[in-house]
Amino acid sequence: MPGRLPGWYIGVVAGTAGLRLAELALSSRHERDISGPRAAEASYPLMVATHTALFALPLVEVVVARPRRPPSLIAVAAAGLLGATLLRWWSIWSLGRAWNVRAVVPDDLEPVERGPYRHIRHPNYVAVALEMAALPLVAGAWRSAIALSVSDALVLAHRIRAEEALLDANPSYRRRFAGRARFIPKLI
């Protein structure tokens, strides 16, 4: 017998989706002002599908599978979701007008080394990876967390390689970020 969606979880998903829509509007404004090549344009529809699934798949799992929601899991996942959201907006703010969801690399790229970019090359992708696991886990939807995380990793592997190829074409970027970790400071 199907379960019911908890109102609080609908609120969390809706709030996260609202923030994502605000990001898309901001990105659209930024993209109008940027001239340059797009990284991994062919895989962009897969990224959109994965991000759309983030807001649908966990809801379906909660209704159909009625997963257990231990308070400790909810607390850790909620903290992860909050951290992911803060990291993503810090990344967006740090990149300023150069930030966009389509990974358009500006022809006049001036590498950004402030904010989280002081420590790693791809903080926004770290934030997205955390969100792909945390948003479903807030409601105990562990199957969705696994499926979305794997899907996101596959899409991002292609996108990051393509984006770094474009970024590395800029001598200033290549010089400044040569020894900087991609995702975890001082590790990877």
109-132 pLDDT per residue, tens: 999 999 999 999 999 999 999 999
Find, among 110, 92, 93, the residue nearest to 101 by Cα. Answer: 92
Report residue 81 as tokens: 């979701």
* Mean of pLDDT over the chain: 95
pLDDT given for residue 42 in this prediction: 93
CA angle 150, 65, 133 (to 5 degrees): 30
pLDDT over 80 at 2, yes or no: no
The CATH class of the 7-177 domain is: mainly alpha
Report residue 188 as tokens: 């990877």
For CA atoms 133, 134, 140, 144, give the dihedral sign: negative
10-53 pLDDT per residue, tens: 999 999 999 999 999 999 999 999 999 999 999 999 999 999 99
Report residue 53 as tokens: 């699934």
132-169 pLDDT per residue, tens: 999 999 999 999 999 999 999 999 999 999 999 999 99
Instruction: Return d(Cα 160, Cα 155) in angstroms, integer.
Output: 9
**3-state SS string over 27-93?**
HHHHHHCCCCCECCHHHHHHHHHHHHHHHHHHHHHHHHHCCCCCHHHHHHHHHHHHHHHHHHHHHHH
Report residue 101 as tokens: 């969801």
